[in-house]
Amino acid sequence: METWVAEGAQRIADRAGDELERFVAVSSPSGDIAGADEAIAVAISLAPEDARVERAACSSADHADDLILTLSGSGRGRIMLLGHVDTVHSHDDHRALERDGDRLVGSGAVDMKGGDVLALGVLRELARRTEDFAEIALLLVCDEEWRAGDFVHTARFAGWDACLCFEGGELTAEGDEAVVVRRKAAGTLRVLAHGRSAHSGSAPDAGANALLALASAAQAVAARHDPGGPAHLTAVPTVVQSGEAFNVVPAAGELLCDLRADDLETFDTVLAGLPAAVDGVRLEGDLLRRWPGMDSGARTATLLDAASGRLGRPIVGVARGGASDASYMAPVIEITIDGLGPCGGGAHTPGEFVHEVSLRSRAEVALAIVDAVLS
C-alpha cells in the first residue's frame, strides 16, 4: 500500500468514531432547517483550517442552504467530494450512536453520515498536498433523501476531473472492495383519482369510486414490472390514500409508485400505459421526481486499476439500484464514482449501522482513488 494512503487512512480512522458520534447525535431529517444547520456546523468544525466555507442555495425550497468547503492548490486538477446530511429518520425516531460489538448503530450512520466523516477526513488529508491539485470541493447537501426537483449544483462542477460520492460502501461476494459505477434511474409516479362521492349504503352506485380506480391503476403499473427485461424496470405501487369516512364512496385519492430502470425514458412508457378513466373516475398521472441513472464503468476502469495498485488489493466497480446525487454528476463529470463510504447496513431503519473496522479500510479505498486521480 502506498505510504500516503496508509498513513492518511490511519489518521482518518483514529478520529472517525468520535466524529461519527458527533454527526449522528444531530437529528437532521430532510426539510428540517435547524437540524441541517446543526449538522453542517459539525462538518465545518471538522474541516481543515484552510478550507473556504460557503453556504449555497439548496435544490429544494424551504430547506437549509447546502455547504461547500473548498481547498485551493497550486497544481492541476479538480476533484469534487459529495455527500448529504439529511436522513429519513424523524426527530421522534432519532437514535444516537451506540456500540454493538463491531457495529456503530445510529440514525443516518451509513446513509450517510459515516460517508460524510470519511469525506471530511479525505479533505483534511488533501490539505497536506496542495501542490498536487488546483481545487478540491466537498459539497454536502440537505435534501438528498426527499428531493423532487433538479440538482442545482450540476452546472457549477461540470467538467471537473472527478466526482467522488461517499454513500455507503460494500464488498463483493469474493470479499473485494467495491465502489459504485452504475445506478438505475429512479422515479416516483403519482396517480390522482377524481371520482364522485355518494352514500355507500343508500346509493352506492350513484358514486364513482376513486379507491377502486386507484386499485386498477396500481395493477396497471405492476403489470409493467420487468426486472429481467431490456430496461430492467421495477414498477412497485407503494402508497395509496383514499376515502374519509367508512360509509361514503371515496371521491378522490392518490397512489404513489416507485419506479427504477436503466433510463428515464422507460418511466414515460409506464405513465403512458395508465388508463385515463375507470368506471367514471378520471385518473391523472405525473412523475413527482425523475432521478437520472449513471453508468461510468467503462470510463473508470483504468482509474480503478491504478487505484488498486496503490491500495494493494482490488477495487471493483459494481452496480447498485438506489438513487444518489452522483447520478446527477455522471453526465457532466466523466470520472464519477460512488459508494466510497464505510460498510454497514440497515439504511432507513432503526437499526442502521456502520462496521467500525470499515472506517479505516474504506478510507484507504477513497485515498487510493484520490491519489490515482491526482496522478
| pLDDT tens digits for range 236-250 | 999 999 999 999 999
Give yes or no: residues 205 and 310 share one domain.
no
The answer, yes or no, to whether residue 148 has pLDDT greater than 90, is no
From 2-6, 208-212, 321-325, the region with the lowest mean pLDDT: 321-325
Give yes or no: residues 122 and 148 share one domain.
yes
What pLDDT is stored for residue 224 in this prediction?
A: 97
Q: In terms of DSSP bridges, do strands 170-171 and 315-320 run parallel, antiparallel, or are they unpaired?
A: unpaired
Give yes or no: residues 174 and 318 share one domain.
yes
Give yes or no: residues 147 and 38 share one domain.
yes
The answer, yes or no, to whether residue 321 has pLDDT greater than 90, is no
Counted residue by residue, the chain has a size of 375
Give yes or no: residues 33 and 102 share one domain.
yes
Residues 88-108: pLDDT tens digits?
999 999 999 999 999 999 999
**Averaged pLDDT for residues 23-47:** 98
Give yes or no: residues 198 and 93 share one domain.
no
Q: In terms of DSSP bridges, do strands 185-194 and 281-291 run parallel, antiparallel, or are they unpaired?
A: antiparallel
Strand partners, 372: none
The answer, yes or no, to whether residue 322 has pLDDT greater than 80, is no
Residues 38-56: pLDDT tens digits?
999 999 999 999 999 999 9
Residue 195: all three cell numbers together: 371520482
- Let me know if 45 is exposed, middle or buried by CB neighbors in 10 A (0-12, 13-18, 19+): exposed
Residue 249: all three cell numbers together: 364512496
pTM of the model: 0.90
| Rounded distance between C-alpha atoms, residue 36 and residue 256, angstroms | 27
Confidence band (pLDDT; 50, 70, 90) for 3?
very high
Give yes or no: residues 166 and 203 share one domain.
no
What pLDDT is stored for residue 228 in this prediction?
A: 95
Examine the fold and report which residue of 291, 317, 350 is the final residue of a domain before the chain moves on: 291
CA distances to 128, 188, 224, 237 from 233, in Å: 45, 13, 8, 13
Q: Specify the amino acid at residue 104.
A: L
Examine the fold and report which residue of 245, 260, 291 is the final residue of a domain before the chain moves on: 291
SS3 326: helix
Residues 344-363: pLDDT tens digits?
999 999 999 999 999 999 99
Give yes or no: residues 104 and 225 share one domain.
no
Give yes or no: residues 364 and 247 share one domain.
no
The answer, yes or no, to whether residue 81 has pLDDT greater than 80, is yes
Q: What is the CATH number of the domain that holds 357?
A: 3.40.630.10
- HSE of 150 in the Cβ direction (CA atoms, 13 Å)? 4
Q: What is the CATH number of the domain that holds 219?
A: 3.30.70.360
How many structural domains are present in the chain?
2
The answer, yes or no, to whether residue 215 has pLDDT greater than 90, is yes
The answer, yes or no, to whether residue 146 has pLDDT greater than 80, is yes
Give yes or no: residues 172 and 57 share one domain.
yes
Full residue range of the structural domain in which residue 368 is found: 3-183+293-374
**Averaged pLDDT for residues 138-161:** 94
Examine the fold and report which residue of 267, 291, 315 is the final residue of a domain before the chain moves on: 291
Residues 122-137: pLDDT tens digits?
999 999 999 999 999 9
Q: By C-alpha distance, which of 333, 190, 200 is closest to 271?
A: 190
| Rounded distance between C-alpha atoms, residue 226 and residue 232, angstroms | 6
Q: By C-alpha distance, which of 293, 360, 355 is closest to 320?
A: 293
Give yes or no: residues 112 and 134 share one domain.
yes
Give yes or no: residues 148 and 215 share one domain.
no
Q: Specify the amino acid at residue 372.
A: A
Q: What angle do CA 121, 9, 81 make, to 5 degrees?
A: 40
Confidence band (pLDDT; 50, 70, 90) for 119?
very high
